[in-house]
Chain A
Amino acid sequence: MSSTPNVGEHVIVKRADFEQLLDALNARNYQIVGPTVQEKAIVYDEITSVNDLPIGWTDEQDKGRYRLKRRADEALFGYVISPQSWKKFLHPASLRLWQAEQTDDGFHITETAPTAPQYAFIGVRACELNAILIQDRVFMHDTYVDPNYQSRRTEAFIMAVNCGQAGNTCFCSSMNAGPKVSAGFDLALTEIIEPDRHEFVVEIGTELGAEVMGEVAYQTASQAVQEQAEQIVTEVASQMGRLLDTTDIKALMYRNFEHPEWENIGNRCLTCANCTMVCPTCFCTTVEDVTDLTGQQAERHRYWDSCFNMEFSYIHGGSVRSSNKARYRQWMTHKLATWVDQFGTLGCVGCGRCITWCPVGIDITEEVATIRKTDSALLTRLREK
């Protein structure tokens, strides 16, 4: 055992000692969640030991394509990202908000939402961490606070991991959301793997992170090792599979609300809602009130919903956004324009999930490029010349 490091300090944890990190979190009663291999994919799920991690696995991602592949080494975090983000823990896909029973005198609430576990997230990528910070604005820093999100979020321990490789659908650099983890973590790891060397450079982000690290065998990271870690993530930044030019993006979206490209996308889009389910920032939900067969017990449930569903915009008389093009426009314009007016940031972190998981391969980066190339303002200027 060593002494407790300082916040901001960089230390080295050997691969052989990695288990101690999990032990330290376990001793603090965290429910530890990290990447696992399930159903031929990287799935964030409960883990009990380092052996549950996707040792030696990586992923290949492209438009409408996702495959796991063996790596030549035994890296713990050698994949890009899981199909599902950490959203499923902080903002569950399904949650019973309350239960009530009918009484002679009306009804009374018997139960509210179940208490959330105290999570420790292992392997949060920079884009995902930025997505969490974006959802914080939605659920904790606006007019109302969602107590369900807040309790999960404030209790969560975040062990982030800097990316060692970029995926083919990644564009976090464009969105200023990665690949380097820069804020909001307790510990941030960079995995260094060489023929005779496998270790993690760990940046201490918080007092809590420092305390946990104090219970693990570590060495101080030399300047040279820190630079090597830095070099890894710098290289990743230059390997992005996609680019999205965000110059003046809000105005671009607003002035192209009636652009013909929406029709073109609408003809391809299946409105399957995959993109919204895998998106780490999408937050929309619906509410369902149900009773048991006697009608005496009632419950209210909250489920993830999607702006691609027809019922989403239903008001008396019909759905406001009945066409595919209107629903796609709502989604993309929300991510890249209206989100800025609502919450002060873009709603996209460039994780690329919406591209990978679109069954017809619609690519948000290509669509922005198309609209930019045929920008209504640009065309008006050309016509005037």
Chain B
Amino acid sequence: MITPNDPMIPQQYRIRQRQQDNADTFTLELEPTNGTVLQFAPGQFNMLYVFGVGEIPISISGNPATPSKLVHTTRSVGTVTNAMSTLKTGDVIGVRGPYGKSWPVMQSTGRDVVIVAGGIGLAPLRPAIYQLFAKREQFGKLVLLYGTRTQEDILYRQELEQWRARFDVDVYVTVDRATSDWRGNVGVVTNLIPRTPFYPPDTVAMVCGPEVMMRFTVQALQKRGVPTEQIYVSMERNMKCATGFCGHCQFGSTFICKDGPVFSYDQVESFIGMWEV
């Protein structure tokens, strides 16, 4: 018997395009085999299933204005992502979603917006960046701060260069460890916060990266005077169902899958500094 409404049943999507972003990171552009387009909001994620191997949560990194191209950027770090990285154009994968809360882009009109990304944390923020650019005149200053370990790890390099050429956004890129041919900033991304132009009391910040990077970024933003409830982070925990049943993604009193992954910092502040929550 087939129950069509079962939230654990994946839908089939075909890989339309595959791109290797850097040594261990790749981007898949998917299209539904049955033509049903998945509307999504920036910051939401899907559960991606590789036939017979397993399922993992991956944030959507494409443009919400063109949802017929479903884009996911993934780093090969485990069994499922390694298997996924071997898939080719035309192969089929399973998709469940979209799940979770989104970045508060449309709630930020009239304000300065600061985007802070670390490593692959830029992927879940890219839909928000697209949406900000699409309605650019509705926002104040727009700042993008991006940090990676080395320059080889820089994601969406071409796009970053295009964005940096625009006059309506300040883009700063920094690397933790530089080689002799790097002419940009060196150091952690939090170092950039004190010297970037935005008006803290009227700024919305969207932060995504490793948990420790987010913690220190938030501290630097708070120090500049950005109110805690205007700072948003995207959290990561183990996830098996994405529908609040499996219990794996609990973080304090929240379920990352349905209450997050995007949280205003005051929602998670009391747990984020604690050991092993």
Point out the residue from B14, B240, B255, B275 that lies within 8 Å of A285, measured CB to CB: B240
- Chain A residues lying within 8 Å of B12, measured Cβ to Cβ, are 106-108
Point out the residue from B14, B245, B270 that lies within 8 Å of A283, measured CB to CB: B245
Q: Is A89 an interface residue (CB 8 A)?
A: no
Q: Is the CB of A287 within 8 A of B240?
A: yes
User: How many angstroms from the CA of A283 to the CA of B243 in the assembled complex?
Assistant: 13
Q: Is the CB of B2 within 8 A of A307?
A: no
User: How many angstroms from the CA of A106 to the CA of B241 in the assembled complex?
Assistant: 22
Q: Is the CB of B241 within 8 A of A285?
A: yes
Q: Is the CB of B1 within 8 A of A112?
A: yes
Q: Is A143 an interface residue (CB 8 A)?
A: yes
Q: Which residue of A lies closest to B91 (CB)?
A: A106
User: How many angstroms from the CA of A138 to the CA of B246 in the assembled complex?
Assistant: 10
User: How many angstroms from the CA of A143 to the CA of B254 in the assembled complex?
Assistant: 13
Q: Is B159 an interface residue (CB 8 A)?
A: no
Point out the residue from B51, B243, B274, B277 that lies within 8 Å of A100, measured CB to CB: B51
Q: Is the CB of A289 within 8 A of B248?
A: no
- Chain B residues lying within 8 Å of A97, measured Cβ to Cβ, are 6, 8
Task: Specify which of A112, A323, A326, A334 lies most central, judged by the most chain B CB atoms within 10 Å of its CB.
Answer: A112
User: How many angstroms from the CA of A146 to the CA of B8 in the assembled complex?
Assistant: 9
Number of A-B contacts defined by CB within 8 Å: 127
Point out the residue from A144, A300, A307 that lies within 8 Å of B244, measured CB to CB: A144
Q: Is the CB of A298 within 8 A of B51?
A: yes
- Chain B residues lying within 8 Å of A300, measured Cβ to Cβ, are 8, 55
Q: Is B53 an interface residue (CB 8 A)?
A: yes
Q: With A305-B247, A342-B253 as given contacts, are A147 and B55 in contact (CB-CB < 8 Å)? A: no
- Chain B residues lying within 8 Å of A251, measured Cβ to Cβ, are none
In the assembled complex, the CB of B269 is this many whole angstroms from the nearest CB of chain A, namely 13
User: How many angstroms from the CA of A285 to the CA of B238 in the assembled complex?
Assistant: 12
Q: Is the CB of B238 within 8 A of A98?
A: no
Q: Is the CB of A146 within 8 A of B245?
A: yes
Give the contact-size bracket for chain A: 35 or more
User: How many angstroms from the CA of A146 to the CA of B77 in the assembled complex?
Assistant: 30
User: How many angstroms from the CA of A141 to the CA of B99 in the assembled complex?
Assistant: 18
User: How many angstroms from the CA of A143 to the CA of B260 in the assembled complex?
Assistant: 13
Q: Is B5 an interface residue (CB 8 A)?
A: yes
Q: With A98-B9, A102-B51, A315-B237 as given contacts, are A112 and B245 in contact (CB-CB < 8 Å)? A: no
User: How many angstroms from the CA of A83 to the CA of B276 in the assembled complex?
Assistant: 31
- Chain B residues lying within 8 Å of A295, measured Cβ to Cβ, are 52
Q: Is the CB of A111 within 8 A of B243?
A: no
Point out the residue from B247, B254, B270 that lies within 8 Å of A307, measured CB to CB: B247
- Chain B residues lying within 8 Å of A112, measured Cβ to Cβ, are 1-3, 6, 9
Q: Is A180 an interface residue (CB 8 A)?
A: no
Q: Is the CB of B237 within 8 A of A320?
A: yes
Q: Is B250 an interface residue (CB 8 A)?
A: yes
Interface 1/0 per residue, A330-369 and B, CB below 8 Å = 1000100110011000000000000000000000000000
The interface of chain B, by Cβ under 8 A from chain A, is 1-3, 5-9, 12, 14, 33, 49, 51-55, 77-78, 92, 94, 236-238, 240-241, 243-248, 250, 252-255, 258, 270, 274-277
Sample (24) of A-B pairs whose CB atoms are under 8 Å apart: A98-B9, A100-B51, A102-B52, A105-B92, A109-B2, A109-B9, A113-B3, A138-B244, A142-B244, A143-B243, A144-B245, A144-B258, A257-B274, A285-B240, A285-B246, A286-B240, A291-B51, A298-B52, A302-B8, A312-B248, A313-B238, A314-B238, A321-B276, A323-B276
- Beyond known contacts A112-B1, A146-B7: 16 more, CB 8 A cutoff: A102-B51, A106-B12, A107-B12, A109-B9, A115-B1, A144-B7, A146-B243, A258-B274, A291-B52, A320-B277, A326-B275, A326-B276, A330-B250, A338-B253, A341-B253, A342-B253
